[in-house]
Amino acid sequence: MEAIHHQCYNLAEYPQPCPQPRMVRMRPETLNPLFADAQTIKGVGPRVVTLLKKAFDLPPGVAEPRVLDFLWHMPTGVIDRRSEPAVRDAVPGTIVTLAVHVLKHRAPPRGNNKAPYRVSCEDDTGKIDIVFFRTERSFVERQLPVGELRFISGRVEAYGDKLQMVHPDYIVAEEARQDLPMLEPVYPLTAGLSAKILGKLSRQAIAQVPQVSEWLPPQLMQAHQWPSFNDAVTFVHKPVDPTDVSTGGLPWRRLAYDELLAGQLALGLVRSSLKSQTGRVVKGDGNIRRKLIDELPFDLTGSQTEAMGEIEDDLASPSRMLRLLQGDVGSGKTVVALLTCAIANEIGAQAAIMAPTEVLARQHLETIEPLAKAAGLRIAVLTGREKGKTRDAILAELAAGFIDILVGTHALFQPDVIYKDLAVAIIDEQHRFGVHQRLALQSKGKDGGSNVLAMTATPIPRTLLMTHYGDLDVSRLRDKPAGRKPVETKAIPVERIDDVIQGLRRAVTSGAQIYWVCPLIESSMVSELAAAEERQAHLTQHFGDQVGLLHGAMSPTAKDEMMAQFSSDKIKILVSTTVIEVGVNVPNASIMVIEHAERFGLAQLHQLRGRVGRGSRQSFCMLLYKTPLSETAEARIEMMRETEDGFEISEKDLELRGGGEVLGARQSGLPEFRVADVPGFQDLLAAARNDATMILDLDPKLESDRGKALRTLLYLFECDEAVRLFRAA
C-alpha cells in the first residue's frame, strides 16, 4: 500500500480557501461530538490511537482519528453467537454461547508453561473444558471462579470424546450478559487491536450520533424499505440480523446511497460554482508552442493533438479549466503538460507542474528542461529538498515573475509560495485528486483561481469517472506513440523462480535491465521491506553488485541516487517495493518481474507493466504467482496476458471486483469512498446522480428544509468544502 500513500496529499499542507474557524462555526453544533478527537471515547488513549490510525482509512488531511471515523470503518462480516445450545448439544466446530458453572481448575505443573490450563465446567446436560495456553494463572482464576455461573462464547471443539473451548472470545458473569454481542461485527483490523475492543469502541461512537432530520424523501425510503439514517448506522455496527452487516443489506445500501448522494451533490456544487465564476481568457499566439514542437524529435500523436485542442479551447474560454487528462503510462502526457504550460507562458503568465513524489518531480524536470530552455523558458524545481537560501531565492524569483514554469511536489502549493501570475496548474499522477484538492489548488491563481489540468495514468472506468470526477471535463490519450512494441506477458508459478533467474542471466548479459517488484503485503510496511531485502540478497548471490534496492522507507536523496544508478545502467536489476508504481521512466529497462502477482489488483499490475516497453528492445513482463490461484486472481492474470489497453483493463477490473473481493477503489487509486467503496452500488450511483441534479435545480443553495438536512449529510461525509462555496458565491 506504500505506493498509494505516496500519492496522498495532506490537506493540511494546502492553503485553505477559507479560514478554518469559520468552518467550525458553520458546522451544526449537534455534530461536534462526532468531530471530536477519538480520545474522547472511553478506552481510547495514545496507544489505541496509534493502532486506529493504522486500522482506519483516514481521509486526506485528517491526521488524528475522530469519533466519526468509527462510523465509517465498516465491518467486513459478522460472528454469529446466537446459538445457545445445552452443552450436550453443542456441535464441534461451531461458535456457541454457553451458560456453564465452573467446576474445577487444573493448572499446568509449575515450570511447564507449554501444558494447557484446563478448567472443567458443566451445565445440566454435560461437561466442557475451557482451555488456555500460556495464560496467567491469576487471570484464569479471576475469569472463572469455581462454583460461579459464567456465559462463555467461542468455538467448541471435540477433544477425544470430550468437548472443549480454547481461549473463549468472551467470558462474562450474569450481570455483564449484555456486553456479550450475540451478533458481533468483524472489522478490518490491525495487529494489536482486537475485534472485541474495536467493537466496543464503535458501539460507544454510535451513541454519539445525534438524531438527524431525514434528507431522503419518504417515497424513496419506502420504495427501498430503507431504515432512517440513525437506524442504518446503528444496525451496521450493532446488528440485530446478520444481513445488517452485509454490503447488500438495507442499512449498508442506505448509507452507501447517502455517501454517493453527498459526493454527487458536492461535485454538482463545485461545478456550478466554477461555471458561474468568470475567469480570464488565456489565449497565446502559439509562438512558444511552435518552438517546442520544432524541438520535439517526433510528431504528436492524434490523441495528443486532440487533447491540446480541447485544452486550448478551455483556456480560451472565460470559465475556468478543470480537466482530467487520462492516458496510459507512456502515452505521452508530459508533452501535453509542457505545451499547456507554454500557452500560459505565451501571455506572460506562469505555470506549475506538481508530481506526487520527489523522484517524479526531478524526472519531469529532466525531460522538460532541455526543451523548455531551447524555447527560451525559465524553469525551476521546488520540492521538500530545497531549503533555506535556495528556497528563498526560488520564491523571490517566482514572485518577481522570473520563473515561467515551476516543477515540484506539493511544496509548490504551500501557503508562502507566491506566484506573480499563475495561470495554469498541472497535477501529475494524482489519483487522489479529491474535491479538497480541486478547491485548494484553484485558490493559488490570480483573482483566486487558476486553470487546472490533472493527469492520471490510471485508466478510470466510466462509472467511476462519473462518481469521482463528475464535475471535470475529460480528455483521453488512446493511441500510443509510434514505434512501441507490445510487451510479452508471461505467467509463471513461483516454483519456477530458478528458471526465471537463469533467463535473467542471459538478458543481463545481452544488456537488458530489470525491475523486480516484491510482494505487496497488506498493511505491513516492515514485512514488505523485509521481503524486498531478502530478494535483493538472493539475487545478489547470482548477480553480485549489479542488484539495487528501492523502498519507501528510504530518504528522498537515497531514492534519487538509486534511481540515478539504475537509469545510468550502473545497476542491472532493481528490486523494489511498489514505490516504482508511479511514472518512473527508464527506457532501457525491458523486463518486469512481479513477485506474488496474485496479490496485486489489475490496475496496479497494468501500471507496473507500463514501466517496460519504453525502449527499442523487446520487453517482457513476468507474473510470478503462488498456487493455488483464486478464481479472480486467475482472471486478472489472464486479462493481463490478453491485452495492454488500459481502458479495457480498467473496465474488467471493476467487473472482477464485483466478484466479492473487497479491494474496492483503493487499489485503483480512487479511495474517496468509505461506505460505497465496494462494488455493487452502480444502480445507486445513477439514482444519486439524478437526485443530486434535481435537488440543485430546485434548491441551488440548499436553503429549504430538505436542503438544510442535506447540508448535515455533506458534513457527515466530509464533503463540506462544497458548503463553503455558498460563502464564496
Of 309, 376, 302, 301, nearest in space to 340 by CA: 309
State the binding partner of 481 from ligand ADP, Mg ion, none, CB within 5 to 8 A by kind.
ligand ADP
User: What's the rounded Cα separation, in Å, for the pair 120 and 126?
Assistant: 11
Across 457-606, where does the E strand assignment appear?
473-477, 488-493, 513-517, 547-550, 573-576, 589-594
Name the CA dihedral angle for 293, 298, 299, 303, rounded to a multiple of 10 degrees.
-100
Q: How many residues bind ligand ADP (CB under 6 A)?
A: 18
Asked whether the beta carbons of 246 and 252 are under 8 A apart, the reply is: yes
Asked whether the beta carbons of 664 and 441 are under 8 A apart, the reply is: no
Asked whether the beta carbons of 554 and 612 are under 8 A apart, the reply is: no
User: What's the rounded Cα separation, in Å, for the pair 520 and 1?
Assistant: 7
User: What's the rounded Cα separation, in Å, for the pair 405 and 379?
Assistant: 5
Among the listed ranges 14-22, 182-190, 582-590, 657-665, the one in contact with Mg ion (CB under 5 A) is 582-590
Q: What track of x and - describes contact with ligand ADP for positions 34 through 73 (by CB under 6 A)?
A: ----------------------------------------
* Distance in Å, CB of 343 to ligand ADP, minimum: 18
Q: Does 582 bind ligand ADP (CB under 6 A)?
A: no
* Distance in Å, CB of 568 to ligand ADP, minimum: 16
State the binding partner of 400 from ligand ADP, Mg ion, none, CB within 5 to 8 A by kind.
none
Residues paired with residue 157 on neighbouring β-strands, in sequence order:
164
* Distance in Å, CB of 366 to Mg ion, minimum: 12
CB nearer Mg ion, residue 575 or residue 584: 584
* Distance in Å, CB of 610 to ligand ADP, minimum: 7
Question: CA gyration radius for the chain?
Answer: 29
Among residues 181, 434, 583, 664, which is the contact residue for Mg ion, using CB under 5 A?
583
Q: Does 590 bind ligand ADP (CB under 6 A)?
A: no
With CB atoms as reference, the residue minimizing the distance to ligand ADP is 332
CB nearer ligand ADP, residue 127 or residue 484: 484
* Distance in Å, CB of 618 to Mg ion, minimum: 23
CB nearer Mg ion, residue 435 or residue 608: 608
Q: Which three cell numbers stand for residue 111?
A: 515450570
Range 457-486, binding ligand ADP (CB under 6 A):
457, 481-482
State the binding partner of 522 from Mg ion, ligand ADP, none, CB within 5 to 8 A by kind.
none
* Distance in Å, CB of 288 to ligand ADP, minimum: 18
Of 83, 348, 357, nearest in space to 242 by CA: 83
* Distance in Å, CB of 224 to ligand ADP, minimum: 43
Residues 6+ apart with CB under 8 A from 412: 352, 354, 382, 406
Among residues 234, 334, 456, 458, which is the contact residue for ligand ADP, using CB under 6 A?
334
What is the sign, positive or negative, of the torsion defined by CA atoms of 473, 325, 453, 441?
Answer: positive
Q: Does 664 bind Mg ion (CB under 5 A)?
A: no
CB nearer ligand ADP, residue 234 or residue 301: 301
- DSSP string covering 124-167, please? SS-EEEEEESS--HHHHHHHS-TT-EEEEEEEEEEETTEEEEES
Asked whether the beta carbons of 183 and 678 are under 8 A apart, the reply is: no
Q: Does 331 bind ligand ADP (CB under 6 A)?
A: yes
Strands 117-122 and 547-550: unpaired
Q: Does 519 bind Mg ion (CB under 5 A)?
A: no
- DSSP string covering 563-614, please? HHHHHTTS-SEEEESGGGGTT---TTEEEEEETTGGGS-HHHHHHHHTTSS-
* Distance in Å, CB of 515 to ligand ADP, minimum: 15
Maximum distance among all Cα pairs of the chain, rounded to whole angstroms: 94
Q: Does 329 bind ligand ADP (CB under 6 A)?
A: yes
User: What's the rounded Cα separation, in Å, for the pair 515 and 576?
Assistant: 8
CB nearer ligand ADP, residue 586 or residue 688: 586
* Distance in Å, CB of 583 to Mg ion, minimum: 4
* Distance in Å, CB of 333 to Mg ion, minimum: 5
Range 295-324, binding ligand ADP (CB under 6 A):
298-301, 304
With CB atoms as reference, the residue minimizing the distance to Mg ion is 583
CB nearer Mg ion, residue 263 or residue 327: 327
State the binding partner of 474 from Mg ion, ligand ADP, none, CB within 5 to 8 A by kind.
none
User: What's the rounded Cα separation, in Å, for the pair 71 and 84?
Assistant: 30
Q: What track of x and - describes contact with ligand ADP for positions 204 through 233 (by CB under 6 A)?
A: ------------------------------
Q: Does 332 bind ligand ADP (CB under 6 A)?
A: yes
Sheet order of strands, 547-550 included: 488-493, 620-625, 589-594, 513-517, 573-576, 547-550
Where do contacts with ligand ADP occur on this chain (CB under 6 A)? 298-301, 304, 327, 329-335, 457, 481-482, 583, 585
Binding residues for Mg ion, per CB under 5 A? 583
